[in-house]
Structure 1
Amino acid sequence: MYSVEWQKRGLSHVHILLWLKDKLRPDQIDNIISAEIPDPNIDKTLHDIIVKNMIHGPCGPENPQCPCMKDGKCTKKFPRKLVKETVHNDHGYPQYRRRAPADGGRTATVKLRNGSYVTVDNSWVVPYSPILSKMFNAHINVEACSSVRAIKYICKYINKGSDQAIFNFRNTDLANPVDEVQTYQSGRYVSCNEAVWRLLGFPLHERHPTVTHLSVHLENGERVYFNEHNFHERITTPPKTTLTAFFDLCIRDEFAKTLLYVEVPRYYTWDASRKTWKRRIQGTSVQDWPGVKSGDALGRVYTVHVSNMECFCLRMLLHHVRGPTSFNDLKNTTHKIILHFERHVRQEDYWRMITIGM
């Protein structure tokens, strides 16, 4: 997921959030993310890039006019604490390894805006990826996120829209006053760079892969919207949901009978206007199934609380039963599973498995 943002006096920059298949362990983070000044004897190019682009400020008493300063403190919480090893915490971001000069950490000399020079250590380094920094030679802040706060952070940029500005026009000609009760105008604050970006139709944000939400409900328990004109029509023939349309798909499509409910969006697209599933036109061909294409879309079944036990069990069945054609078909499948356990499992073991949820 990414979102492009503009600062008022700068070029565009992007916020990118990546989900990894396997969670990073503390001992793996140091191989990907660093918050230390590189050794110039080993990689002089990387050292120069980091000193130029990834040193925060420095701010504080030496540079009180730094933009990050507010009430005498750095809003970005620099300088950071010096630690010997990377440590995970419960606040979303790890505490990266920042070794002090006494423990083998390095220092560098940077120039302030006023022309003076100051020596900084690892406590002023913004976390970065050595590969990306050398590739782009730019300020690229890379962090390992382990909290939902990071998702909220980037979604804020995607949904907040452009900055707003409220202004008004005042008539200074006292001889010809025009009293419009000082009409205030509200408009978007768009920089020239953002205006060009939008005029050229470049992408503003994207989420990949596509996630299709799949409804789950009991028989005749779907949500129906109606008014006084279509009340009887909606009661007699309610619109199809992704679940009931999945049942119809399994009746007419042999390939759909091999799928779980959550796997359907990978091979079919949901037509919201016609309330039906359609085979994908683009994608990778599925072996032994002519005309079937596989995409990278994901299906996500809505969560059901365990207090709604019947619907909760229905959701569990949809994750284990392939190709159901109706609600009754799911019930019959459940009955067959129970009979199978009754035949092959001792009664006391069977009830013990039922008690702990198998």
Structure 2
Amino acid sequence: MDVITKSHIYGETRCWIYSVEWQKRGLPHAHILIWLKDKIHPTEIDSVISAEIPNPDQDPGLFEIITKNMIHGPCGPLNPNSPCMKDRKCTKKYPREFIQERYFTADNAEERAANPPNTTLTAFFLLCQQDAFARTLLYPEVPKYYTWNTSRKVFCKRKQGAAVPGGDVRASDALGRVYTVHPNNDECYYLRLLLHTVRGPTSFTDLKTSLRNLWGSMSTAWSA
């Protein structure tokens, strides 16, 4: 943190916060959020963020650290016994196609808006449309009875756990957590409140429907 906050490698800092985490696949790492006195503009991002391999002659120590610890593989035909391999394929989908840059145009922005990605929330809506038991649940209660299939983007009934009387589902001790939202982000904040209150919603429209009225926003639906 001293390199960032005292040496000012990104510029003078106003404040900062960080959280250290321990995960299965590696040693402790930190999520760091900093506020700069002078904001960085999108055109300047490449000057402060990069994924380049350091020059081994100029910085041999950093070169060794990055090439040893921060590069995936080798896997595939070069190392079929790598832990990431399953059915002769890399489960992390390497090697990946190199992408020089990502950008939005008027055309692909419209396409992305018209075809938004499936999320756990939209999958919950679909589950409630198809599953009578799911319609009795609040969104945070779903992980207790269903598991998330990452590749298919759907919830599946648990196969292990205690049988639920009168249903064909099983219950576990799993807990669900919904992301916290600051009240200033009012629509997302009230969406979160509704997800903790409304059982079995089938869509965003359903969430905004109260007393047989469709309200114009999540906040007005909550107030109703």
Q: TM-score, normalised by structure 2?
A: 0.49
| Structure possessing the higher radius of gyration over alpha carbons | 1
Higher relative contact order (CA closer than 8 Å, sequence separation 6+): 1
